[in-house]
Amino acid sequence: MRRSGLDVAVGVFLLIGLLALGWLSVRLGRVELLGNPGYSVIADFPSVGGLKPGSSIEIAGVEIGRVDGISLHDFQARVVMTIKPHVKLQEDAIASIKTRGLIGEKYIKINPGGSEKLIKPNGKITEVEPPVDIEELISKYVFGKV
């Protein structure tokens, strides 16, 4: 009798531990279980320079969305982004690919515009700034082309 009570206690403890591990995986991995709420916006960059799906999108340092996908379209990198529903982007907003720190992760920084017109769902950000290519800058400095 004592053995079965101990087995049940260990089983419950193990079940709670597995549930906690699953919850942490979802939270830390920033996975949306019921779909990603928000609307899609695209932007075409000449180069994405290491940007990956799942990278954050920020305005003034506040995360407003995530990169959903990156594909090649007319020899440019098309970035599909999901923006939170309460954030409205102006038609003349500027999307820039930035790096956290010297060799940190890439993210998209959006500078809001001053236009009255808003980008509609599945709309496009037309003003973009590609990432700074550190290797190109170093090679120009080393070979004296600065």
- Domain ranges (residues) in the chain: 1-31, 39-139
Q: Calculate the alpha carbon distances from 65 to 120, 132, 138 in Å.
A: 15, 22, 32
pLDDT score recorded for residue 7: 86
Bigger pLDDT: 142 vs 119: 119
Confidence of residue 137 (pLDDT cuts 50, 70, 90): confident
Q: What is the pTM of this model?
A: 0.71
Q: CA angle, corner 112, sides to 130 and 67, nearest 5?
A: 50
Query: What pLDDT, on a 0 to 100 scale, did the predictor assign at position 78?
Result: 94
Can you tell me the distance from the alpha carbon of 129 to that of 47, in angstroms, rounded to the nearest whole number? 9
Classify 141 as helix, strand or coil: helix
User: Residues 23-78: pLDDT tens digits?
Assistant: 888 777 666 655 667 899 999 999 888 889 989 999 998 999 999 999 999 999 99
Highest mean pLDDT among 34-38, 112-116, 132-136, 142-146: 112-116
